[in-house]
């Protein structure tokens, strides 16, 4: 069965303090690994899709990387507006849907 584990559950950073969020996964043939951002009271918002080990994608202060067992979301010099819950999901080759992790709740203090 496909599984996704995110760590830590919660992370508090000072503005400008870089860090990484982890997403460990097991899947029988990876079609894609996805990162979403979710603000309180809203639906998740798409950030990145990664397809194969070694792939990297960047958007502003965020950079996502992928290995055969895990993905990292690196946050460089975060700002308070980066505070949100970050969700990781995987889709297997033989599935039409995605399996989500429980998320990492990020708080960035000014």
State yes or no: residue 96 binds another protein (CB under 8 A): yes
Residue 62 engages another protein in binding (rule: CB under 8 A): no
- Decide: is 42 part of the binding site for another protein (CB under 8 A): yes
At residue 73's C-alpha, the angle toward residues 69 and 76, to 5°, is: 145
Is residue 101 a contact residue for another protein (CB under 8 A)?
A: yes
For residue 107, give the 3-state DSSP assignment: strand
| Distance of alpha carbon 79 from alpha carbon 56, whole angstroms | 22
Single out the residue of 49, 63, 70, 83 in contact with another protein (rule: CB under 8 A). 49
Residue 42 carries which DSSP code? S
Using CB under 8 A, list all residues that contact another protein. Answer: 4, 32, 34, 36, 41-46, 49, 87, 89, 96-103
């Amino acid at each position: 069965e496909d599984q996704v584990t995110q760590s830590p559950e919660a992370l508090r950073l000072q503005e400008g303090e870089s860090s990484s969020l982890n997403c460990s996964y097991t899947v029988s043939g990876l079609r894609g690994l996805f990162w979403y951002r979710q603000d309180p009271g809203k639906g998740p918002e798409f950030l990145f899709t990664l397809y194969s080990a070694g792939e990297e994608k960047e958007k502003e202060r965020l950079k996502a990387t992928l290995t055969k067992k895990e993905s990292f979301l690196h946050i460089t010099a975060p700002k308070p507006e980066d505070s949100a819950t970050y969700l990781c999901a995987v889709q297997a080759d033989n599935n039409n849907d995605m399996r989500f992790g429980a998320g990492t709740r990020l708080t960035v203090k000014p």
